[in-house]
Amino acid sequence: MEAMLTTRRHSLAVLAALALLPLSFLARAQAFPTRPVRFVVPYPPGGPLDAVARLLALRVGPQWSQPVIVENIAGAGGNIGAAAVAKAAADGHTLLMGAVATHAINPSLYASMPYDAAKDFIAVTQVASTPNVLVVNSQFPAQSVADLVAYARAKPGGLNYGSGSTGSAGHLAGELFNSLAGVRMVHVPYKGAPAAMQDLIGGRIDLMFDNLASSLSQVKAGRIRALAVTTAKRTPLAPDLPTLVESGLSGFDISTWFGIFVPAGAPKAAVDRIHADFTRALAEPEVREKLLGMGADSVGSTPEAFAAFVAAEASKYARLVKASGANAD
């Protein structure tokens, strides 16, 4: 009799342990993060990616009861910081604020890359998109995109456009414009967009494709004139500005976007938690308003949608880089 009771108690204990097993797995999944989280921005402090990363870190950290520490690792067009994340432990405790350069342009622009943008990361969510704008010198005769195209066709090679660097979004936007409009404008690279803007204001270059938020103050001051935005849809930052698609250049869609990536192999539970909490923060009205004030439209996409978007962008920029002959080596 005693033996039967002992066997029964043992069986009940085993069943109880098995019943609790899924809960232990759930508890471990919910425990993420278990230590401070690094949020790497692959550019210097003070830029838009840095500002947005710090804004989101302040929102997400308290939900995790762990600090989200923004770390700036700049260099090589974002490649150094992105490589640092690609080589980090794949446990979800290291995040990257990746961008159009690190995941769409640089893989085609650099002959040798320190990471594989497609294989070394999991795309978690697109954070935001910043529209670019086609701007001309205030004395330039063209009042519309149609005027600009007609002017450029009449003077092949006679117009020049500036950008912050060879292979930048501004440079490749000009190459796409050349292709779609059937014109030939000459690219003039600068060491940063601010230097190009100064020469545009001074009339030393004719036009450029710049970040709208950066250009807006100069447009309002009358120092330059905006003709169109480069995104597929109009932006609430300047709702009266037409898109280049509306202006006759079908398929023109160039923006400066950025989003969150983690090293490949990160646990799905951690990726899901990162996605849920960052997209929740992006949906907050105050956060959306602050991003708009920085010139960025908040997004908050699913991992699947973001991965598909990044793949399409990489394919698009591969074609543009090849057509332009641009290289960073």
pLDDT reported for residue 167: 85
Query: What pLDDT, on a 0 to 100 scale, did the predictor assign at position 259?
Result: 98
CA distance 15 to 188: 73
User: Residue type for 33, please?
Assistant: P
* pLDDT for residue 318: 93
CA dist 275 and 97 (Å) reads 13
HEC profile of the chain: CHHHHHHHHHHHHHHHHHHHHHHHHHHHHHCCCCCCEEEEECCCCCCHHHHHHHHHHHHHHHHHCCCEEEEECCCHHHHHHHHHHHCCCCCCCEEEEEEHHHHHHHHHHCCCCCCCCCCCEEEEEEEEEEEEEEEEECCCCCCCHHHHHHHHHHCCCCCEEEECCCCCHHHHHHHHHHHHHCCCCEEEECCCHHHHHHHHHCCCCCEEEEEHHHHHHHHHCCCEEEEEECCCCCCCCCCCCCECCCCCCCCCCCEEEEEEEEECCCCHHHHHHHHHHHHHHHCCHHHHHHHHHCCCEECCCCHHHHHHHHHHHHHHHHHHHHHHCCCCC
pLDDT at 30: 55
Please give the domain boundaries of the chain with CATH numbers for all domains. 36-130+255-324 (3.40.190.150), 131-229 (3.40.190.10)
Q: Which of 55, 56, 57, 196 is nearest to 136 (CA)?
A: 196
- One-letter amino acid at 255 equals S
- CA 95 – CA 86 distance, rounded (Å): 9
The per-residue pLDDT for 211 is: 87
Distance between CA atoms of residues 108 and 97, nearest Å: 20
CA distance 183 to 166: 19
Distance, CA of 257 to CA of 131 (rounded, Å)? 8
Integer Cα distance of 265 and 217 in angstroms:
44
pLDDT tens, residue order, the chain (329 aa): 454 444 455 544 444 444 444 444 444 445 899 999 999 999 989 888 999 999 999 999 999 999 999 999 999 889 999 999 999 999 999 999 999 999 999 999 999 999 999 999 999 999 999 889 999 999 999 999 999 999 999 999 999 999 988 888 899 999 999 999 999 999 999 988 889 999 999 999 999 999 887 888 899 999 999 999 999 889 888 899 999 999 999 999 998 899 999 999 999 999 999 999 999 999 999 999 999 888 888 999 999 999 999 999 999 999 989 888 878 76
Give the model's pLDDT for residue 165. Answer: 85
pLDDT of amino acid 8: 52
